[in-house]
A = this chain, B = another copy of it.
Amino acid sequence: MSELKNDRFLKALLREPVDVTPVWMMRQAGRYLPEYRATREKAGSFMNLCMNPELACEVTLQPLERYPLDAAILFSDILTIPDAMGLGLYFSTGEGPKFERPVQTEAAVKALGVPDPEGELKYVMDAVRTIRRELDGRVPLIGFSGSPWTLATYMVEGGSTKEYSKVKGMLYDRPDLMHHLLNVTAQSVISYLNAQVAAGAQALMIFDTWGGMLTPRDYKEFSLRYMQQIVDGLTREAEGRKVPVILFTKGGGQWLEAMADTGCDGLGVDWTLDIGDARKRVGDRVALQGNMDPSVLYASPDRIREEVQTILASYGQGSGHVFNLGHGIHQFVNPEHAGAFIDAVHEFSKPYHQ
């Protein structure tokens, strides 16, 4: 593998000195970019794009051609694991992801097995290998997975939900079954992420999109507990470097201390908390990644620069901050505004690293 030319992102996650604050954007390879939309068109469908390693590599690299980003993230879907478990993932227009065979009975839960990452999920590992080769050491590559609770939500509901009736019905009435489901899913995530590291991922992120919909008691029992299992089961070193792990629970700002206790390296934070307050709470135990409101990108470049400065000042002096949005970039954002954001992070963060 070629030597890493820009390791700011990895260093910041380990709270080692950097020259400027590194920055990337969740969903940076996405619909706001015309070149993404062109490749997506060529692929015919979203899943074709995910399952074709050459095209997945193409869209992963697109934002790096435009912007001086400090990390690349594997282009893939959050639901590859349940699909590989046999649930039959498909996308229906306007309704998001769906499963042909949701997991709603004891028999269905007990039938779940851990998929082979170099079997049914080989297309993901091929994408990781292709991207690493094409990146040629420019920036590190982030691998990722959904959290067990987030995957379970889609698996039980059979798609997106606003009410969580089925998955919470199972959680509240059949906690034994829910724990079985989460356990198999956590084992699958461990095997999936370790295979991504073996294939070339240099950092890992776990997206807990729906953990924030739980009570504090249930969050600890049904989401965090399984993220802890994952952190404990991951390969934490590869190619002679530490492989940092980031946990991100959307809406989980109240539980940062407990999340930091897992032994992960970084925590994603959304924009509903002040990043300086978050830093005080977690101290020097973990790095923080975030947390500009993605809607600020609808404002003028001047206003975007102002917001970047506010967040940098709130985090304050020293390493341990990876700048990002607090959620994925929206599809109707002007790509030039994203550029203004990224440039502003590098430009205005220098004084905080002197």
Q: Mark A292-323, 1 if CB is under 8 A from B, else 0.
A: 01011011100100010010000000000000
Contact segment of A40-48, A240-248, A267-275: A267-275
A282 within 8 A of B: no
A214 within 8 A of B: yes
Nearest neighbor of A166 in chain B, beta-carbon distance: B298
Contact in complex: A172, B295 (CB < 8 Å): yes
A239 within 8 A of B: no
Contact in complex: B298, A172 (CB < 8 Å): yes
Given A251-B272, A253-B254: A173 touches B299 (CB 8 Å cut-off) = yes
A122 within 8 A of B: no
State the copy count for this chain. Answer: 2
A169 within 8 A of B: yes
Separation in Å of the A154 CB from the closest CB of chain B? 16
Nearest neighbor of A302 in chain B, beta-carbon distance: B173
Contact of A163 among B168, B172, B218, B330 (CB under 8 A): B330
Q: Mark A270-284, 1 if CB is under 8 A from B, else 0.
A: 011110010000000
Chain A: residues with CB nearer than 8 A to chain B?
163-166, 168-169, 172-173, 212-218, 251, 253-254, 271-274, 277, 293, 295-296, 298-300, 303, 307, 310, 330, 332
Cross-chain pairs A/B with CB under 8 angstroms, 20 sampled: A163-B295, A164-B295, A165-B295, A165-B332, A168-B293, A168-B298, A169-B298, A172-B299, A172-B300, A172-B303, A172-B307, A173-B303, A213-B272, A214-B272, A214-B293, A215-B293, A216-B273, A216-B274, A251-B272, A253-B254
Which 6 pairs, one residue from A and one from B, show the smallest C-beta to C-beta distance?
A172-B299, A168-B295, A169-B298, A173-B299, A165-B298, A215-B271
